[in-house]
Structure 1
Amino acid sequence: MTGSDLIKTVEAALSNPGAATSDFDLNPNVVLPETRVLRDAAVLVALMPTDDGARLILTKRSSALKHHPGQIAFPGGKRDGDETLATAALREAEEEIGLDRKQVRLIGTLSPHETVTSFQVTPHVGVIDGPFDPVAELGEVAEIFTVPLVHVLNPDNYAIEGRRWRGQRRLYFVVPYGPYYIWGATARMLRSLADQVRL
């Protein structure tokens, strides 16, 4: 399947809304307070068509960051002021990986994802038109890399692992790729994409 065909398949799948997800999906024993307040955020699931398929852009966060140091993440962040979530995703990608927002064609969104840090993150899926030479934002992004889209669309590449968090064992999805340990919210959102597309 060519990159263009694969992306068309993804775009068609995104026309059907999926279920909302959270970092607590695999932990039904966690009781969340009904009065909790979630802050809006957005990420960009940036896809690049290639001759042999398509690739997904991810970042490795700087180890010097206060929150989630060294973790694998999409470019993205919290919404500023009254900007739209799509604008937030594109702005953050511009800042973090040097991606000109004019190069991105948005093709859909995944359902919101609630994180353990009280964000409601909306993933925006976009296609990069033309050549792109990534530039990492100093101090925040340690590395920018790509993963074959078919890798993260294959449910067989996912596993469930766990670690202790706030005194309890917490389970989460992982979808490793080479030296990259993709886990937590990023892996959960990618699993949601895989579930929607179902190649």
Structure 2
Amino acid sequence: MRPSEIIARLRDAEALAQAAPTQSDLLDPALVAEGRLREAAVLIPIVTYPERPAVLLTLRAAHLNAHSGQVAFPGGRIEPGETPEAAALREAAEEVGLDPRIPEIVGRLPEHLTGTGFRVTPVVGLVPPPLAIAPDPAEVELAFEYPLDVVLDPEAPRRERAEFRGRAREFWVWPHPRHTIWGATAAMLVNLARVLRA
């Protein structure tokens, strides 16, 4: 998929309508009702290799208090006065050393509400190769690329069920030979796929 096609889909109302806001089934409805969700943003960096574009993902460091060892997009809280785009670029610079001047921001996906009480805005940015990053070991154990052609494959993601805190949960999982891509990251990848396949 060419960068021009990605941009066109992310700026097309009909394509964007294929995606919808998502939320964790662990989210406390009171947080939403009382307006106590915290604002956050992630960068979905698409590295625009001519032959095989890829999405940049991170494996969070094992020693972190929250979501340790999970696959994630670079991102975090939106600071006062920041836009989601500015927060996503700042966090990507802090976590993986991605120069914030490099990504071309091309759009947003619908928000995702996490079970930990965050309203996350996914910001999509195109990153030209070669990719120059330096992950911060305090936050990121590994940065790796996930082929965009897998994201575009409607057969790739699957729904799984598991018991957590005494209740059954359903969630998306994307295939990978070494890492489990699930939860908020998987849900946002599903929305990206829906928009790009539109």
TM norm. shorter chain > 0.5? yes
Distance (Å, rounded) in 2 between the aligned partners of 1:107 and 1:177: 26
State percent identity of aligned pairs: 38
Aligned pairs, how many? 191
Q: SS state of the match for residue 29, structure 2?
A: coil
Distance (Å, rounded) in 1 between the aligned partners of 2:4 and 2:155: 22
Distance (Å, rounded) in 1 between the aligned partners of 2:92 and 2:55: 13
List alignment gaps of at least 5 residues for structure 2.
Answer: none
Instruction: Quote the residue 1:32 is aligned against.
Output: 29
1:125-164 → structure 2 map (5 Å cutoff) = 125-164=124-163
Moved more, 138-147 or 34-43: 34-43
Answer whether contact 1:155 1:191 (CA < 8 A) is retained. no
List alignment gaps of at least 5 residues for structure 1.
Answer: none
Q: SS state of the match for residue 155, structure 1?
A: coil
Distance (Å, rounded) in 1 between the aligned partners of 2:65 and 2:76: 14
Counterpart code for 2:163: R
Distance (Å, rounded) in 2 between the aligned partners of 1:147 and 1:42: 20
Distance (Å, rounded) in 2 between the aligned partners of 1:70 and 1:44: 19
- 1:14 counterpart = 2:10: yes
Distance (Å, rounded) in 1 between the aligned partners of 2:22 and 2:80: 25
Detail structure 1 runs of 4+ shifted over 6 Å in the superposition. none
Moved more, 158-167 or 58-67: 158-167
Q: SS state of the match for residue 172, structure 1?
A: strand
CA RMSD of aligned residues (A): 1.7
Distance (Å, rounded) in 2 between the aligned partners of 1:31 and 1:71: 22
Once the two structures are superposed, residues 106-128 of structure 1 have per-residue CA deviations (whole angstroms, 9 ceiling, x without a partner) of 01110111111110101110011
Q: SS state of the match for residue 139, structure 1?
A: coil
